[in-house]
Amino acid sequence: MTLAIRAARLKLATVGLVLLAAGSAWGQLRVATWNVSNYTGGRVADIQTSVYALYESRSFSPDIILGQEFFGQNAVNQFRDALNTAAGSPGDWDAVYVDGDGGSEGNVLFYRTSRVNYLSNWVASPSSLPAGPRKVICYKVRLQGYTTNRANLYCYNSHMKAGNGGDDKARRLAEAENIRDNAETVINPAYHFLLGADLNMYTSSEAAYQELTGSQPNNDGRFFDPINTPGYWHDNSYYRFVHTQDPATTYGMDDRYDQMLVSQTLVDGEGFEYIGNPAIPYSTTTWDDPNHSRRCWGNDGTSFNQPLTTTGNTMVGEAIAQALKDLATTAGGHLPVYLDLRVPARIGADESLYFGQVEQGASAEELLAVWNAGDVTLWGVSGLADLSYSFSASTGFTAPDGTYVSSPGGPTEHYTITMDTSTPGVKTGTLTINATGADETSRVLQLTGEVLAPTECPGDCNCDSAVNWRDIDFFVAGMNNNQLGWEAMFLPGEPTCPYANCDVSGDGFVNWRDIDPLVELMNTTCP
């Protein structure tokens, strides 16, 4: 992709971000990470208010939640049921829970079944407590309505060791190494993955953070901060708009522990993509950054070193802010962090083209229909990527050159595909639609047709299916076996009958002996 094209796409992606990022996830896929602070059950009203209550048209309303600090399957079930029974909820939540080390706190994938299909999970970082890293789970889901691995999202879920001591940092580093190694070796580098985690890190310079995000000889498993905000976050008012902890107590909001880091494929400017501009750091003057869809839900930037502002909270209002605060029941509680993803386009096209039976030398054309088949009803126009595509045809067929773009919900486009009819026989081939921004990189269509050898009609030298005065000039041009002179009488793409028509006598030559037989056939039609 050229820099100009990518810049244009980033500009377009930014348009409307104020509406998308701050409001409900009406179209795009919204993914969140949330340490729900020692959750053993209950707090139903606070969960429902935090997730589905509206303030100035804004609502959390995620599609996926990567949850930490859940104590047991019963707690997970209660949280899931609270999501499903909330006013405004679609009621389609399910959950997959993996318990922690020795049955202690575990992490969980909550997901909306109408938006994604759960496929599997695995341990990405095995535990070796008390001295080693905590267990990390990778959850594999696929966008609803899609069929290929390019529509998969691999979600790493982690709660790293707290503390700023050497042993604490060593355990976080070991876990980060495991996560990156797993992403590098298990996931195809063309696919899409992210990490939702309570990292418990004070600064981007920590070795564990550099392990996750730094450049290495092999960068297939590298993570990126989509809001491009490195620094020493702890107790630093400069980063007050990205702080996620502690909303509940007088210790106050002063750490960026909770983060979502993404793969390079989610910030490469095409297809399945973070909605925002990863080249621009997050705002230091407003929570409502138009360049990013990432938000810390509830943090309006007015709570530095203070409990979360409730009255007058400009992001979520008093009721939601109070519910979020109440959910973070203990010192060190957390706010949820989310980001929005634009889902890939889908190739829509005719399954095959049949050119029928065509006479040799005649024109053979068929129209190919192509469209962006992304589900606008499910994902919204702004939640779907454009379909960018080109064509390549096998020998014997031709397709238009160039690259074309189809917008979600846009019209069906038609392209002329031609078949070579210079030789007779059954013709078969393929047309490949090469796509970017889609869950398929190519779609192969079958092309078939038959070219019929021309039927002989003695005396019909101009190939109009009749013998008359119009054939005389063509006959004269072809005299003395001058087939090239005869062919020159026709427009490009013709003739559609054999030169042998001029051999009226049938002796294998076109000469003066054919004149009398031609005169005898004048004003007749071909069989």
For position 12, which CATH number holds?
3.60.10.10
276 & 290 share domain? yes
**Whether residue 336 sits in one domain with residue 379:** no
**Are residue 336 and residue 362 in the same domain, yes or no?**
no
Of 289-293, 364-368, 495-499, the one with minimum mean pLDDT is: 495-499
Q: Is the residue at 182 inside a domain?
A: yes
Cβ pair 399, 447 in contact under 8 A? no
Mean local confidence (pLDDT), 27-35:
95
pLDDT at residue 18 greater than cutoff 50: no
Q: What is the pLDDT of residues 426-443, one digit of tens each?
A: 999 999 999 998 999 999
406 pLDDT higher than 60: yes
Alpha-carbon distance of 299 to 452, in angstroms, equals: 73
Rg, C-alpha atoms of the chain: 33
Question: Domain end: 430, 452, 474, which one?
Answer: 452
Alpha helices in 131-191 (DSSP H): 166-186
Question: Of 405, 426, 452, which residue is a domain's last?
Answer: 452
Among 342, 357, 387, give the residue marking a domain's end: 342
In-domain check, residue 459: no
Query: Given a cut of 50, is residue 345 above it in pLDDT?
Result: yes
Q: Is residue 360 domain-shared with residue 247, that is, in the same domain? A: no
**Same domain assignment for residues 79 and 158:** yes
Number of domains in the chain: 3
Q: Indicate whether 276 and 365 sit together in one domain.
A: no
Structure tokens at 414: 């038609």
List the CATH number of the domain containing 362. Answer: 2.60.40.10
The answer on 490 and 365 residing in a single domain is: no
Helix or strand or coil: residue 76?
Answer: helix
Residue 195 has pLDDT above 80, yes or no: yes
Lowest mean pLDDT: which of 183-192, 210-219, 498-507?
A: 498-507
- Alpha-carbon span 419 to 410, nearest angstrom: 28
CA distance 393 to 385: 25
Q: Is residue 457 part of a domain?
A: no
**Structural domain harbouring 40:** 3-342
Q: Is the peptide bond before 189 cis (omega within 30 degrees of 0)?
A: no
Residue 176 lies in a domain: yes
Q: How many whole angstroms separate alpha carbon 363 and alpha carbon 472? A: 26
Q: Answer yes or no: is 253 within a domain.
A: yes
Query: Is 460 within a domain?
Result: no
Q: How far is Cα 70 from Cα 40, in angstroms, rounded to an integer? A: 6
Distance separating alpha carbons of residues 423 and 454, to the nearest angstrom: 10
Rama region for 374: left / alpha / beta (φ>0; ψ in -120 to 50; rest): beta
Does residue 307 sit in the same domain as residue 196? yes
Give the pLDDT band (50/70/90) at residue 17. Answer: very low
Instruction: Quote the CA–CA distance of 290 and 18 in Å, as a whole number.
Output: 5
Query: Are 289 and 360 contained in the same domain?
Result: no
pLDDT 10s digits, 458-508: 999 998 889 999 999 999 999 999 999 998 999 877 777 888 999 999 999
Specify whether 277 is located in the same domain as 163. Answer: yes
Q: What is the mean pLDDT of the chain?
A: 91
Q: Are residues 336 and 357 in the same domain?
A: no
pLDDT at 6: 41
Same domain, 213 and 103: yes
440 found inside a domain: yes
Within a domain: residue 461?
Answer: no
